[in-house]
Amino acid sequence: MKELEAKIKEIIPMTHNVTSFRVEAEGEIEFKAGQFLQVVLKTMPELKRYLSISNSPTEKGYLEFTKKITESDFCRTLKNLKPGDYLKIRYPFGKFTLDESFYKIAFLSGGIGITPIRSIAKYVVDKNLSTDIVLLYANRTVEDIAFKYDFDQMRKQCPRLKVIHVLSESREAVEYKSGRINAQIIKDSISDYSERKFYLCGPPAMVEAMKNILVTELAVAETSIITENFQGY
Ligand SMILES: Cc1cc2nc3c(=O)[nH]c(=O)nc-3n(C[C@H](O)[C@H](O)[C@H](O)COP(=O)(O)OP(=O)(O)OC[C@H]3O[C@@H](n4cnc5c(N)ncnc54)[C@H](O)[C@@H]3O)c2cc1C
């Protein structure tokens, strides 16, 4: 585990309630796409949260984390920070990473659970890996989709990346599926689902529900499922 006194380089609003923070990280910053870090705010007592790294190791010079902004003390302090301010970063942690021997993978995610997936997808695209990816990404409305522009750009660059947005409260355009991620949507969107390794990320209740659908309704082996639980939601 490493510790970094990191200067905030850039703060990027992603949606109405999600913000990305980039901190300077020059030199040898080693992490794998999909891992997470711990942000420690310089308060008394210290406020800290585990957050996934949302950039890819191919994007050099900074580490990015992306926080869903809530009313917590942690978020209130974070929101007041400006470029040039410092915070402490401990990294890297976690095993929600790409196994390059998997030729076909599928990501199932909702809301803020997209952060490590964005990192892995960007890594695959930048490295021009042969990994074939389908992402099913659930949100309430179009306005809640984080990293939409990034994924649109990545899809243009990489024909092996398919992104399907599933919206529970909106029926506005044919490019989106309406409803929630369920067995039927998985079967319709990922016809070769039985050949894929599944990566699930989001709040624990959502991850559990997705896993249940895969195992009990679609007979996907538990060994083909890799999960990351965002404890705290
Ligand atoms: C591996 C991992 C990766 C994550 N990645 C992201 C991410 O990319 N983006 C994101 O927004 N969130 C992520 N989370 C969730 C994040 O750590 C926070 O739990 C969540 O954002 C809620 O914190 P809050 O300050 O907004 O709300 P709060 O209301 O403060 O948190 C909700 C509840 O969780 C408790 N809690 C939160 N964090 C901790 C902790 N570290 N230890 C003990 N209790 C805690 C709080 O006390 C409270 O009861 C991740 C969590 C994990 C475990």
The domains of the chain are located at 2-93, 104-229
d(CA 221, CA 155): 29
Q: Which residues line ligand 1 (CB under 6 A)?
A: 36, 49-52, 66-68, 70, 72, 74-75, 94, 112, 115, 228, 230-233
Per-residue pLDDT, averaged over 164-176, amounts to: 80
Of the CA atoms within 13 Å of residue 222, those in its CB half-sphere come to 3
Fold adopted by 104-229: Rossmann fold (3.40.50)
Name the pTM for this structure. Answer: 0.95
Distance 212 CA to ligand 1 centre (A): 23
Please give the CATH number for the structural domain made up of 2-93. 2.40.30.10
Residue with CA closest to ligand 1 atom 47: 232
Distance 148 CA to ligand 1 centre (A): 23
Q: What's the first-to-final CA gap in the chain, in angstroms?
A: 25
Residue with CA closest to ligand 1 atom 29: 72
Fill in the DSSP letter of residue 53: B
Residue with CA closest to ligand 1 atom 24: 72
d(CA 13, CA 62): 17
- The atom of ligand 1 lying closest to the CA of 54 is 8
pLDDT of residue 213: 98
Residue with CA closest to ligand 1 atom 9: 67
Confidence band (pLDDT; 50, 70, 90) for 99? very high
- Inform me whether the pLDDT recorded for 145 exceeds 70: yes
How much of the chain, in percent, has pLDDT values that exceed 90? 91
d(CA 117, CA 34): 6
Per-residue pLDDT, averaged over 115-131, amounts to: 98
Those residues whose C-beta lies under 8 Å from the C-beta of residue 78, and which sit 6 or more positions away, are 21, 39, 41, 67, 69
At 77, phi and psi to the nearest 5?
Answer: -70, -45
pLDDT of residue 177: 87
pLDDT of residue 195: 97
Confidence band (pLDDT; 50, 70, 90) for 172? low
